Amino acid sequence: MVESIPPASNQPAASSSGALTYRDAGVNIDAAEEALAASKTAIRGTFGPRVLADVGSFGGLFRADNLGKEPVLVATADGVGTKIRIATSISRFNTVGRCLVQHCINDALVQGAEPLFFLDYIGVGKLNPEMVASAITGVAAACKDHGVALLGGETAEMPGVYPDDEFDLVGTLVGVVEREHLLDGSRVKSGDRLIGLPSNGLHTNGYSLARRIVEQRMAKKNYLEPFPGEPNGESCADVLLRPHICYLHAMRPFLQRKELHAMAHITGGGVPDNLPRVLNGKGAQVSRSAVPPLNVFRQLVAAGEVPMDEAWRAFNMGVGFVMVVDAAAAIGIFDDLQNAGEKPFHMGQVTDAEGVHWLD
C-alpha cells in the first residue's frame, strides 16, 4: 500500500563521501509507514464482509459472489486536479479526499452503478505523515458514508518529480450494475426532458482558471482572505474547497426505473461537453437561466471577464448532475426529487440535432 520511489539521479547527496541512505536521497520510509499507521483505523472502518484482506496487503481482496444475475462491473478513475494547490496552500487536506471519492462515485453512477470499492494514489515530493494521513482519512470518511470499501492504495514519495510542498491525489472506483438496468444511452429519444441537480461550487473542475482569477484579478494574497459576495464572510478557501457533491443518495430510488433514460455528471467541459456523451448521438436544448445562480460563478466570471460560452465549458456553472427522463414521467420524477429534499430544476429537452443548443 505504501511505496517510496527513488528520486531522479540529479538529486543532491548529503555529502561527497561516506555512506548514503535512502533518506539522504530524499525518501523517508519511516514517514510513509507513519502515515499509513495513522490511517489504518479509518481505512478498516470502510470494510464490510466482502473484504478479505487487511490494510497493507499487496492487493485488495473483494468477494464478488451474489452481486446479481448478470452483474456488470463499472470502473472509473479520476483526480482532483489543481484544487489540490489550494488545499496545500492552507494545509487543509481532508476535503480533497472526500471530493475524489464522490467524484468517482458520480462517474460510475451515470451508468447506473452502485459503488463497491475504491483505490487511492498519493504522490508527493517530500512525505509529510500528517498531510498524507489527513488526505487518506478524508478518502476513508467518504467511502464509509457511501458504503464503499477502501480496498487499497499507494503512497509514493518522489523527490524530483513533485515539489516538496505539493502532492497529487487520484483514485479508482469499481461499481456494479445489473445488466438490464445498465444506462448506456440506448433509451434516449427526442423529446426526453432534462432535470438538473445543483452543484455547490466548482466541485473538481475549472481550478486552473479559478485560481488565476482569484490570485491575479481579485488580487487575493492568500486563500484565507474573504471571497467576494459570500453572505457569511467565507474565505476563498472555504468557497473553493467545498466538497464535490455525491448524487448517489438522490439517484438511488430511480436507478431501476425505465423512465430514467440517461444521466450526466457535469465535470470538465461543463454541460456542453458532458451532456452529449450520454445522449447516444442526439442533442439537447438547454436553458441557462433555469439553473439557480451561485455567487462563486458570478464573481469569477465578472472578475475574469470570462465570455459566457467559455464559462459554461470551464465551469459547471451550478449544474452538478443531469437526469434524462421520459417526457411523460418528468413531472412525477421532479416532484419525487423535491419531496426527498432535493432541489431539482427543469433545464431543457433532448433534440435530434447533435450538441448542446442554448435557449437563452
pLDDT for 140-171, tens place per residue?
A: 999 999 999 999 999 999 998 888 878 899 99
Shared domain check, 128 and 161: yes
The pLDDT confidence band at residue 31, using thresholds 50, 70 and 90, is: low
> Apex CA 266: angle with CA 314 and CA 144, to 5°?
120
- Going by DSSP bridges, is the β-strand pair 114-124/167-178 parallel, antiparallel, or unpaired? antiparallel
Shared domain check, 346 and 200: yes
The CATH number linked to 94 is 3.30.1330.10
User: How many other C-beta atoms can be found within 10 angstroms of the C-beta atom of residue 29?
Assistant: 15
Shared domain check, 228 and 131: no
d(C-alpha 52, C-alpha 66), whole Å = 16
Shared domain check, 146 and 43: yes
Shared domain check, 210 and 161: no
Number of domains making up the chain: 2
Find the mean pLDDT for residues 49-71: 84
Shared domain check, 282 and 139: no
Shared domain check, 201 and 152: no
d(C-alpha 256, C-alpha 238), whole Å = 37
pLDDT for 184-221, tens place per residue?
A: 999 999 999 999 999 999 999 999 999 999 999 999 99
Task: Give pTM, 2 decimals.
Answer: 0.88
What pLDDT is recorded for position 165?
Answer: 78
Shared domain check, 37 and 151: yes
Shared domain check, 225 and 160: no
What pLDDT is recorded for position 12?
Answer: 46
The CATH number linked to 246 is 3.90.650.10
Residue 14 forms part of a structural domain: no
Domain extent for 55 = 2-8+26-181
